[in-house]
């Protein structure tokens, strides 16, 4: 990872706008509670309920706010799994090649998956029907890997990061593709409906950035963000939530500061209070505004975890 240069920046379009942002390392949230929603801990793709189900290194997660169903990506299987908030797990589809990122599009109520080997995006209905949606790269050269989370806005635009190429790609509902040069290491994206901004994590630099017409403008800079990949957004409070597999912690960016929400930094599958809970390679993260809960895919622990009482 690149060294972090701490500078004062200004947070645009979220809580604490106008306040300087720098490295900040507070303790974990004193009230947050972590528990396992589903997953036995064994690497397998087995349907069932709670710990009677198994995941195979789940890396990304998307939330359907209309039904309350979570969708979990398993690149190694490969599969997309469906998970109810009560812990019932079922397999939606196995019909995707080299899946990398996952997003739920509220405009058409479909899932979208980036395919790293083909540099394309697949559409998956909630009934599990898979079809080709768009090709991101038509270069005769080997296509860049499409890594990290995808996200969608309320008008159906998709946003996906090309980690190796250092691009952020926008795909419209009409399949028009545009690319904005960012920098190698960008991973994870989310949309802020309050300012129509698209935000990305740069895991190499340890930064949260906003996409602009001229590139990526840094809005937060912290050593806590170095190595982070997953990002979610709470539109009501203007807070970002980030999963960092390199430190095994869940972070928040709130009021212009970066906080540890949960995780003591050790790799493990330990439920409980924020300071004693352990994660094992958390990568995907989704925020459920109705339940005020975070859902996290623990790739190393083969589980999906839930965090409550952190706000």
Per-residue pLDDT of the chain in tens (311 residues, 90 and over written 9): 332 222 222 222 222 222 233 333 445 777 899 999 999 999 999 999 999 999 999 999 999 988 999 999 999 999 999 999 889 999 999 989 889 999 999 999 999 999 888 888 999 999 999 999 998 876 666 666 666 678 999 899 999 888 777 778 889 999 998 887 666 677 778 888 778 888 888 888 888 988 877 777 788 889 999 999 899 999 888 899 999 999 999 999 987 789 999 999 999 999 999 999 999 999 999 999 888 999 999 999 999 999 999 87
Q: In what order do the strands lie in the sheet with 186-192?
A: 186-192, 197-202, 207-212, 215-221
Q: Is residue 100 part of a domain?
A: yes
Instruction: Please give the DSSP secondary-structure letter assigned to residue 52.
Output: G
* Structure tokens belonging to residue 82: 């469906």
What is the pLDDT, as a whole number, of residue 17? 26
What distance in Å separates the CA atoms of residue 202 and residue 187, rounded to the nearest whole number? 6
Q: For residues 61 and 297, is the Cβ–Cβ distance under 8 A?
A: yes
Q: For residues 146 and 162, is the Cβ–Cβ distance under 8 A?
A: yes
Q: For residues 119 and 137, is the Cβ–Cβ distance under 8 A?
A: yes
Q: Is the pTM of this model over 0.75?
A: yes
What is the pLDDT, as a whole number, of residue 7? 23
Q: For residues 145 and 111, is the Cβ–Cβ distance under 8 A?
A: no
Structural domains in the chain (count): 1
What is the pLDDT, as a whole number, of residue 188? 79
CB atoms under 10 Å from CB of 164, counted, come to 14
Indicate the SS3 state at residue 223.
helix
Instruction: Please give the DSSP secondary-structure letter assigned to residue 4.
Output: P
Q: Is residue 4 part of a domain?
A: no
Quote the domain boundaries for residue 255.
9-308
Q: For residues 301 and 44, is the Cβ–Cβ distance under 8 A?
A: no
Output the CA–CA distances (angstroms, integers) from residue 17 to 11, 12, 174, 200, 238, in the order listed: 5, 5, 34, 17, 10
What distance in Å separates the CA atoms of residue 134 and residue 120, rounded to the nearest whole number? 6
Supply the CATH number for residue 173's domain.
Answer: 2.120.10.30
Q: Is residue 2 part of a domain?
A: no
Q: Is residue 116 part of a domain?
A: yes
* Structure tokens belonging to residue 123: 């559409």
CB atoms under 10 Å from CB of 88, counted, come to 17
CB atoms under 10 Å from CB of 13, counted, come to 15
What distance in Å separates the CA atoms of residue 200 and residue 242, rounded to the nearest whole number? 10
* Structure tokens belonging to residue 3: 């060294």
> CA nearest 202: which of 182, 219, 191, 186?
186
What distance in Å separates the CA atoms of residue 283 and residue 285, rounded to the nearest whole number? 7
Instruction: Please give the DSSP secondary-structure letter assigned to residue 270.
Output: B
What burial class does residue 232 get, using C-beta atoms within 10 Å of its C-beta: 0-12 exposed, 13-18 middle, 19+ buried? Answer: buried
Q: Is residue 3 part of a domain?
A: no
State the virtual CA torsion across 210, 147, 291, 298 in degrees, nearest 10.
-130
Q: Is residue 268 part of a domain?
A: yes
Q: Is residue 72 part of a domain?
A: yes
């Amino acid at each position: 990872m690149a060294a972090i240069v701490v500078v004062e920046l200004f947070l645009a379009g979220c809580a604490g706008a106008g306040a300087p942002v720098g490295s900040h390392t507070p303790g974990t949230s004193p009230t947050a509670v972590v528990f396992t929603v589903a997953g036995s801990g064994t690497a397998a793709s087995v349907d069932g309920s709670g710990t009677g189900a198994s995941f195979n290194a789940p890396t990304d997660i998307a939330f359907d706010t209309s039904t309350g169903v979570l969708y979990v990506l398993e690149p190694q299987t490969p599969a997309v799994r469906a998970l109810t908030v009560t812990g019932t797990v079922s397999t939606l589809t196995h019909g995707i090649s080299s899946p990398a990122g996952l997003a739920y599009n509220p405009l058409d109520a479909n899932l979208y998956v980036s395919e790293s080997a083909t540099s394309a995006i697949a559409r998956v209905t909630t009934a599990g029907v898979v079809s080709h949606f768009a090709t991101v790269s038509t270069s005769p050269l080997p296509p860049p890997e499409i890594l990290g989370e995808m996200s969608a806005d309320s008008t159906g635009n998709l946003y996906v990061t090309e980690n190796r190429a250092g691009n952020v790609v926008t795909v419209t509902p009409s399949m028009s593709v545009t690319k904005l040069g960012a920098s190698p290491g960008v991973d994870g994206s989310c949309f802020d409906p309050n300012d129509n901004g698209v935000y990305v994590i740069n895991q190499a630099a340890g930064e949260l950035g906003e996409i602009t017409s001229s590139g990526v403008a840094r809005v937060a800079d912290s050593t806590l963000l170095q190595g982070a990949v997953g990002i979610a957004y709470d539109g009501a409070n203007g807070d970002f939530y980030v999963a960092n597999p390199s430190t095994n912690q869940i972070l928040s960016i709130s009021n212009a500061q970066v906080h540890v929400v949960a995780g003591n930094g050790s790799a493990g599958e330990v439920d409980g209070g924020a300071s004693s809970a352990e994660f094992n390679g958390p990568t995907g993260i989704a925020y459920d505004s109705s339940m005020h809960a975070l859902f996290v895919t623990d790739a190393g622990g083969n589980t999906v975890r839930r965090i409550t009482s952190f706000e």
